[in-house]
Amino acid sequence: MKKYLFLIIIFPNFCLSQNIFNPYTLYENSGEIYDIDSLRTLDINFYNSDFNNILDSTYYNDPSYRLPAQIIFNNIILDSVAIRYKGNSSYIKCSSMFKKPYNIDMNDIISAQTLMGYKKIKLSNSWFDPTFLKELLATKIYQRYLPTYETNLMKVNTQGSYTGLYLNQEAINKQFLEKHFSEKDGAFFKCDPIDMSMYSPNLEFLGLDSSLYYNSYELKSENGWSNLINLIDVLNNNPSNIESVLNVDRVLWYFAANHIVMNYDTYNIGSPHNYYLYQTEDNLFQIIPWDLSESFINASGSTPSGILSDPYSLQPNKPLLNILLNNQLYRKIYSAHLRTIINESLDTSWFSQNINSLQALAYPAVISDTEKGYSNQDFFDNINQVSVLNQWISAQPLMPVILARINDLIQNPEINLIPPSISNLNISGNYISAEVINADSVHLMLTLSEYNSGFQEINMYDNGQNGDALSGDGIYTTYYQFPVNGDEAKFYIRAYNDNAIKLLPEKAEYIFFKYSSNTTNNTNIHNINKRNLLKITDILGRSVISKHNIPLIYIYDDGTVEKKIYTE
């Protein structure tokens, strides 16, 4: 049986119990290794003083080669940690410098050795980002909508000398899979080619011979080539069955998040790479974002004209994008996801607050970092103006890009189509009802799957029959026999009109309701739209008691989330 983290709401004297998935519970708390509010130091001490020449040489000649070293972090000393250089352009552009990006494996030499629970971490030198903040802020947004790696800032000393300020990145590995999917043994691929100029993990069908895909996809599990080829085959040659092999909704969230944060280096905008695919036990591949360093058009000298401004742009040789957006149902769901992320995450006050606090935290480390790509002044200036690295690369300004993106999206005619509204969700015995306005049809989307997938449509009616009290009153009702053995039904509501779709909760299918029935009494009524306050958290989902004058996240039992100033 799979394990998931849920907020549990207890209603005394009721036999129907409701839970709602809260993805924030999967992420780090204060004091842990990815605490965003702390700036801690990692000391790396290689046993071989010629480490730089060795790792430079093996980066090209033997990329998997690692050198042993001792590391010290948070008063924790670990010996025989295995380290290599990592990255593509972030390594190549600074190969003559001392500040290289690191891949650090605690578990490679000493089995089961971890650093604060993690077997591996990756340190990015943020070579193209004068602010050091763009990827960090992007990951916090992606985490609201799909499984995403964690990040924070970290100072690094190497051989006793200050190397510079780094972005600490959680590795996408089996430990990450266990954390987000409660499993780790499925087919697992890193979708990055060995040579971007010759190969592409764009999911085009090349044939049934697995060797045709070796240069575009890296197998990270013991086996899985036939699984990946089957996914690609169905996508290209039998797309009507795509939901049998792919978590389509998660891909739509991924596409929407890429466009909202202007993440150029992703499948649906720029070159199709920087993502992982993992096949969970329900046989569906899940997409996982990676390397969000190009977020907010970080280094945009070659950005194709128009692609970033139009979230509905179709592109050659990208079957996953073109097939999904040419499907009218998927396109409407994608539009609903775009509206949700715009409303929740393009919040200039949230950006301003985080920029100010993180810059204050990072400032001493940045000033002392003599090998960063840009100047000390660029650290501040690039928040509001362009910073030029060289004749090929310029870092776009963070806040003007965000403001321009907001202005562009709110004028998009397809995003501006008016969806239905959903309120007053009720369960009365085995009848589920909701008040829906401006809809042509309404569906209960429900599954009993332990994998929280495979949601099926059940029609809801406003016809005065089958439990619906009054025809034409805007209350849509359906009958569902909840399992009498206590198994949980997972569901959300989806309402349609000719133009648009509305979901409740809005983050479905990543967030959904769960209900189970008690066989002794299943007739009690619970009105979900009373919107009981479940908890108040900060922007990372951490519970708080009082943080006056700081925007906090209010989480309600109907799946809605609000940003407010805490005043109690």
- What backbone torsions phi and psi does residue 75 show, to the nearest 5 degrees? 70, 15
pLDDT at 348 over 60: yes
392, burial (CB in 10 Å: exposed 0-12, middle 13-18, buried 19+): exposed
Of the listed ranges 69-73, 191-195, 308-312, 509-513, the least confidently predicted one is 308-312
Tokens of 328: 């009218």
Q: What is the pLDDT of residues 216-232, one digit of tens each?
A: 999 999 999 999 999 99
Q: What is the mean pLDDT of residues 460-476?
A: 94
Beta-bridged to residue 299, according to DSSP, are: 395
User: How many Cβ atoms sit within 10 Å of the Cβ of residue 296?
Assistant: 27
Contact 481, 490 (CB under 8 A): no
The confidence score (pLDDT) of residue 94 equals 56
Mean pLDDT of all residues belonging to the chain: 86
Tokens of 369: 């970092």
pLDDT at 536 over 80: no
Of the listed ranges 153-162, 488-497, 555-564, the least confidently predicted one is 555-564
Distance CA 534, CA 514 (A): 15
Q: What is the mean pLDDT of residues 71-79?
A: 97
63: preceding bond cis by omega (within 30 degrees): no
- For 417, how many CA atoms within 13 A lie in the half-sphere containing its CB? 18
The confidence score (pLDDT) of residue 6 equals 37
The confidence score (pLDDT) of residue 414 equals 97
Task: Determine the residue type at 36.
Answer: I
Q: What is the pLDDT of residues 396-428, one digit of tens each?
A: 999 999 998 999 999 999 999 999 999 999 998
Distance CA 231, CA 242 (A): 8
Task: Check: pTM over 0.75? Answer yes or no.
Answer: yes
The confidence score (pLDDT) of residue 543 equals 47
pLDDT at 499 over 60: yes
pLDDT at 526 over 70: no
